[in-house]
């Protein structure tokens, strides 16, 4: 075949799909050699960019050892997680996070461990040398050496330039109010995890789960609003500190409760601790006595005994009881501190704080009715609130008539003071048992969860008795002019070596403000107060807890928005008569 014949053979036609792809890739009438050189140049630039990024990351790992990558290298070393702020009902910060540097090491990168330890212990005298040596001798990629160091310590160590030593900025929990709300707020551990109080409640109610899931890692979390009013808290704590010192008491505690919502507006238990320096928190004397401790509440329990009788319909304010002598039951003798020597009315049982009268009132109701009433008012079961720390009441295993006698005046049963406050709230707020809370709660929310335990007219009579006791009874020393308070005292002898001691007592005073239309209840407790010349040798509640309560009321009344009212009629006209006209 000739060349002319070869040239006359046609090449097969290029498929249309290939023509389309070639047109899109190269265009038309383009020099393919130029295009090839452009592609090679682009590939070189792309690879150069990739290697530049890798080189940059290597440099970051080398000189920026406090990066998140280094943090992840620790794998098993916990990192302090972020927590939401905790604020009082007015928005004042009670707990918040700040950033603090922590010192870590990367054992695989340390050249001379002995030199590193020598330099670090010189900069940090409190660094445990043996523990640091153990950690730096491990094969881990990351170990903690010292958590939460100061900026100056960070600066000094940074100047040493030790390879394999770096810093991480962690979340550190701080409490701006110090010890003021310590028992309520609680505290966290070194990893910023709640271990007590409302801090632990936060973790138990979803925060810990969020952290484990990798969420809530920053501080863009909604603050937790408590029911506490920091102003009222400071006033209550200040007066309790003064009373504890004045009466040489072993401990002092108190709280303010909103009787309509169950909100706890203030809670103080002394001695307390500073959660910023939590070593003292482990002292067994520094427990929260209002929720963790259980005590025989003494005569404040008579309020529940009389409410039981009035609500049953078997007694009224003028029902008479024999108060001429003692009450003998087997080998036990019940007597009154100030015997009247005559028959007394139910009202006088309250104002004279008669043990004999309270015992006879309870016996008239019967053992089963007494037990059922106390259970209905929440005194027989463990009280659950947001605070994880709570104790179960101590009740008789076998409840006899003797138990009913002693429990009628607050002996023989031990409850958490907050538990007693809940029961008394129900006696004076119209008869509604409302669970206490440390979170903000509206009256509508409280009514939705409330349980009716008393008739409204019974509550009216109890408010009358409380006010009458401030007018002519044992609570007179707390009757702050203008606030129309009501109150009940309690002095319970403590058990020492198996016997009740007359020299070691737990005093309590509960007040309602104001008595004709209660908004708040105040509880003040003094543990083992001593007699003073001004108390004439007495250590009973009326001489120490009651005047302390009066001072607290004078300070917190304006803070709670309670306007003073003067020249008000006595309780039989303002409370009792008004109650009769509405029935």
Q: What is the mean pLDDT of residues 559-583?
A: 83
Task: Give the range among 239-243, 430-434, 517-521, 567-571 with minimum mean pLDDT.
Answer: 567-571
What tokens were used for 552? Answer: 């607290």
Taking every pair of C-alpha atoms in the chain, what is the biggest distance, in angstroms?
A: 152
Q: What is the mean pLDDT of residues 22-31?
A: 60
Residue 59 has pLDDT above 90, yes or no: no
Q: What is the pLDDT of residue 71?
A: 43
Question: Pick from 547, 541, 510, 537: which is nearest to 528 by CA?
Answer: 541
Per-residue pLDDT tens digits for 367-380: 999 999 999 999 99
433 forms beta bridges with: 451
Strand duo 86-87 + 93-105: pairing: antiparallel
Task: Give the range among 65-74, 146-155, 272-281, 365-374 with minimum mean pLDDT.
Answer: 65-74
Residue 263 has pLDDT above 50, yes or no: yes
Task: Give the range among 59-73, 115-129, 339-353, 374-388 with minimum mean pLDDT.
Answer: 59-73
Q: How confident is the model at residue 12 (pLDDT cuts 50, 70, 90)?
A: low
Residue 389 has pLDDT above 90, yes or no: no
Q: What is the pLDDT of residue 331?
A: 82
Q: What is the pLDDT of residue 82?
A: 79
Residue 564 has pLDDT above 60, yes or no: yes
| Residue 299 is among the residues annotated as catalytic for this protein | yes
Per-residue pLDDT tens digits for 484-521: 999 999 999 888 887 888 889 999 999 999 999 999 99
What tokens were used for 575? Answer: 């409370």
Angle at which helix 302-312 crosses helix 456-472, to 10 degrees, equals: 140
* Dihedral sign (CA 168, 77, 96, 240): negative
Q: How confident is the model at residue 433 (pLDDT cuts 50, 70, 90)?
A: very high
Residue 549 has pLDDT above 70, yes or no: yes
Strand duo 86-87 + 224-225: pairing: parallel
Q: How confident is the model at residue 483 (pLDDT cuts 50, 70, 90)?
A: very high
Rounded to whole angstroms, the Cα distance separating 384 from 386 reads 7
Question: Pick from 283, 174, 166, 284: which is nearest to 219 by CA?
Answer: 174
Residue 424 near residue 453 (C-beta atoms within 8 A)? no
Q: How confident is the model at residue 90 (pLDDT cuts 50, 70, 90)?
A: very high
Mean pLDDT over the full length of the chain? 87
User: From start to end of 444-568, where are the E strands?
Assistant: 451-452, 486-496, 499-513, 520-527
Per-residue pLDDT tens digits for 197-242: 999 999 888 665 555 554 555 545 789 999 999 999 999 999 999 9
- State the catalytic residue, choosing from 102, 269, 299, 508: 299
Q: What is the mean pLDDT of residues 249-263?
A: 97
Rounded to whole angstroms, the Cα distance separating 298 from 406 reads 10
Rounded to whole angstroms, the Cα distance separating 164 from 166 reads 7
Residue 361 near residue 304 (C-beta atoms within 8 A)? no
The stretches of 456-508 forming alpha helices (DSSP H) are 456-472
Of 3 and 50, more confident: 50
Q: How confident is the model at residue 70 (pLDDT cuts 50, 70, 90)?
A: very low
Q: What is the pLDDT of residue 555?
A: 97
Helix (H) or strand (E) holding 239: helix 230-246
In percent, the amount of the chain with pLDDT more than 90 equals: 57
Residue 183 has pLDDT above 60, yes or no: yes
Helix (H) or strand (E) holding 370: helix 367-376
Of 26 and 136, more confident: 136
CA torsion 103-107-110-114 (nearest 10°) is: 80
Q: What is the pLDDT of residue 11?
A: 55
Residue 487 near residue 545 (C-beta atoms within 8 A)? no
Q: What is the pLDDT of residue 238?
A: 97
Residue 454 has pLDDT above 50, yes or no: yes
């Amino acid at each position: 075949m000739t060349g002319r014949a070869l040239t006359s053979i046609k090449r097969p036609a290029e498929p249309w799909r290939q023509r389309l792809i070639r047109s899109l890739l190269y265009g038309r009438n383009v020099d393919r050699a130029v295009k090839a050189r452009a592609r090679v140049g682009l590939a070189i630039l792309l690879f150069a960019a990739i290697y530049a990024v890798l080189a940059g990351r290597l440099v970051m790992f080398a000189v920026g050892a406090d990066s998140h990558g280094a943090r992840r290298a620790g794998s098993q070393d916990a990192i302090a997680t972020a927590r939401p702020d905790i604020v009082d009902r007015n928005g004042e910060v009670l707990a918040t996070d700040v950033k603090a540097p922590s010192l870590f090491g990367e054992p695989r990168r340390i050249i001379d461990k002995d030199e590193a330890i020598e330099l670090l212990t010189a900069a940090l005298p409190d660094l445990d040398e043996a523990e640091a040596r153990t950690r730096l001798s491990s094969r881990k990629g990351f170990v903690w050496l010292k958590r939460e160091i100061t900026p100056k310590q960070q600066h000094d160590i940074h100047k040493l330039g030790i390879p394999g030593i770096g810093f991480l900025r962690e979340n550190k929990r701080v409490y701006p109010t110090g010890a003021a709300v310590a028992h309520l707020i609680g505290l966290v551990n070194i990893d910023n995890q709640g271990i007590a109080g409302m801090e632990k409640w936060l973790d138990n109610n979803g925060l810990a789960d969020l952290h484990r899931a990798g969420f809530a890692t920053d501080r863009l979390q909604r603050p937790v609003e408590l029911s506490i009013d920091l102003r009222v808290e400071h006033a209550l704590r200040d007066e309790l500190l003064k009373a504890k010192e004045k009466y040489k008491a072993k401990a002092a505690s108190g709280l303010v409760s909103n009787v309509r919502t169950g909100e706890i507006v203030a809670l103080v238990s002394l001695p307390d601790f500073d959660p910023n320096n939590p070593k003292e928190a482990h002292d067994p004397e520094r427990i929260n006595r209002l929720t963790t401790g259980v005590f025989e509440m003494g005569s404040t329990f008579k309020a529940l005994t009389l409410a039981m009788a009035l609500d049953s319909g078997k007694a009224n304010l003028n029902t008479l009881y024999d108060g001429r002598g003692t009450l003998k039951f087997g080998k036990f003798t019940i007597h009154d501190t100030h015997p009247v020597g005559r028959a007394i009315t139910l009202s006088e049982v309250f104002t004279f704080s008669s043990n004999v009268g309270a015992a006879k009132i309870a016996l008239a109701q019967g053992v089963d009715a007494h037990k059922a009433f106390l259970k209905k008012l929440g005194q027989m079961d463990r009280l659950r609130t947001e605070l994880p720390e709570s104790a179960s009441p101590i009740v008789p295993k076998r409840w006899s008539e003797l138990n009913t006698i002693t429990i009628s005046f607050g002996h023989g049963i031990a409850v958490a003071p907050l538990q007693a406050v809940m029961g008394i709230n129900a006696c004076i707020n119209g008869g509604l048992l409302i669970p206490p809370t440390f979170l903000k709660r509206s009256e509508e929310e409280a009514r939705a969860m409330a349980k009716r335990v008393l008739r409204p007219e019974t509550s009216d009579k109890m408010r009358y008795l409380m006010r009458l006791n401030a007018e002519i009874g044992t609570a007179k020393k707390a009757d702050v002019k203008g606030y129309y308070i009501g109150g009940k005292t309690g002095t319970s002898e403590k058990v020492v070596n198996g016997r009740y001691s007359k020299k070691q007592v737990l005093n309590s005073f509960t007040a309602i403000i104001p008595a004709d239309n209660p908004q708040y209840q105040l509880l003040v407790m003094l543990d083992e107060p001593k007699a003073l010349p001004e108390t004439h040798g007495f250590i009973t509640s009326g001489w120490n807890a009651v005047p302390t309560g009066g001072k607290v009321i004078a300070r917190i009344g304006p803070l709670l928005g309670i306007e003073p009212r003067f020249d008000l009629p006595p309780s039989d006209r303002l409370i009792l008569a008004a109650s009769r006209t509405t029935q």
